[in-house]
Structure 1
Amino acid sequence: MNLGELITALEAADPTVTVRRGFTNPHSYRGDYMELAFEPTANVSVGAMLADARSALGATFQGYKGGDFEMREYTWCWLSEYGDASNETISPLALEAMLADTVQPAAATSAPADPGLRDRIARVIHRTVHPESDWGQQVRFGMHQQYLNVADAVLAVFPAPADRAAVLREALAAAEAINARFPFGCSGTTVVEELRRLADEAQQTEDQCVCGHLIDQHFEDVCQVGDCPCQDALTPEGAIGRAARDRRWKRERIRCGHVDIVYGRCTRYMDDHDDECVHENQPAT
């Protein structure tokens, strides 16, 4: 993807959107000083990426080992730290994946439709964890807050169902299952931590391999779940990046990026570069 195409694609996107994985800091690419690279970064807005891309158009950057190189619309773009040749091109597919993986703003916590629901959930959990304890006494001594915190966690796991009885049954079942793991009962804090862990596991998608199982369920890249044939632990984002790089390597040979200040750019390609560089204006020996 060249710089002109990158700017056009970013102009078509919403500049206010923040993406999890983007780029910043344009510079001369170490792999080919005449080409442009951006450093990868996290949680950046589309508008900021567009500003960086526009700032590079027509700008002159110094190569890693010298020389000045102007970036134009047809200049090829890479995703790479300064001084590194990552071989990771910014392809249309890779950019599409970047723009699709957005950071969602935190949703405001809304009060339950039934104002007493939070309190009833807290009472049910308290009765399950400590059946011998009096709820009124917990309130008098200010010890009921931990159960209200548990109720908040339950409401986060089971959001806004219409059936109030179903909410209470879900909360009771979750609390009983957690409490059953401890022979002498457990504290409200333990219930909170366990419910939050269950919620995190239920929402875990970023660490999932393209085979459908978690990355943690792979050993040395081989999936350990049942008869799954997967032997290459890859997230969807990683798979997209690899496919883009594979297509790039198959389509083009990579030219040596070394530029001599006097004799110019090396004419050799990396796949047959097993000797010293031969520069464009280097006199014959």
Structure 2
Amino acid sequence: MSNTIYIEYNFRITPLQPTSDILIAELGAIGFESFVENETGIQAYTQKEDWQADMLNEVGILSNPDFHITYEVKEIEQENWNATWEQNFKPITVGEVCEVRAPFHEKSNVTYDIVIEPKMSFGTGHHETTHMMLQFILDHDFKGKTVLDMGSGTGVLAILAEMRGAVSVDAIDIDNWCYLNAMENVERNHGKHIKVYEGDASLLKDQKYDVIIANINRNILLSDIPEYAKCLTEGGQLFLSGFYKEDIPLITEKCNEFGLRFEKNQEKNNWVAVKYVF
């Protein structure tokens, strides 16, 4: 992995919101896997082997006259990633009792101290969807629960679920770098009941969970919801994020098809996190 080359796009954006969120969603849909938000816009990363010079042709917001977006492109080696995120990554606090920080940040006096080295993985808690999912975990009882963290990224949600009392957590991500990074972060946070897997929903056959957490994107969620329903125990809880407020009816309709009923949602800058019960 040390010689992996990434392509970095440095986007300058006016206005910052909601432009940044829309751009991140569209870039994620065409294969960009990591993002760093800054004061002038975002930096977006994709592996060079997956990159094509014309791939931004599919990003509709770039041609929208309501937004002003310019960008520069360069290659970046994976080992240079640390310097990039260290310049931008500040600790975040969720619910006043949980802090997500990097190894070089000083420890605060919080109940749940999570140390994350994200590298090229998604999930530091800075993005609205991760922040809301962390809040959902803090707001619910995980004691004695079996948990699935689908699309686990850095593993931050799986780590907090165990800290909140989960007795077994499976963390699954399709990306090899996320898989390796999550294993590092689980070890860094002394995880004892978290197993990390590389793969997709095909790994869920014959599995059962009390709680499923999935922070991915709308299309993957719509495809995977039937599998989630099969895996939930009676009375199980499903927490979903990675989509916008206007997508809730579509997601809810699919959940209802498989016996999952809407209970409540959070909203942050038009991103949402939604709870369903089986």
Q: TM-score band (shorter)?
A: under 0.3
TM-score scaled by length of structure 2? 0.20
Q: TM-score, normalised by structure 1?
A: 0.20
Select the structure with the greater relative contact order (CA < 8 A; seq sep ≥ 6): 1
Select the structure that is richer in strand: 2
- Structure with greater helix share of residues: 1
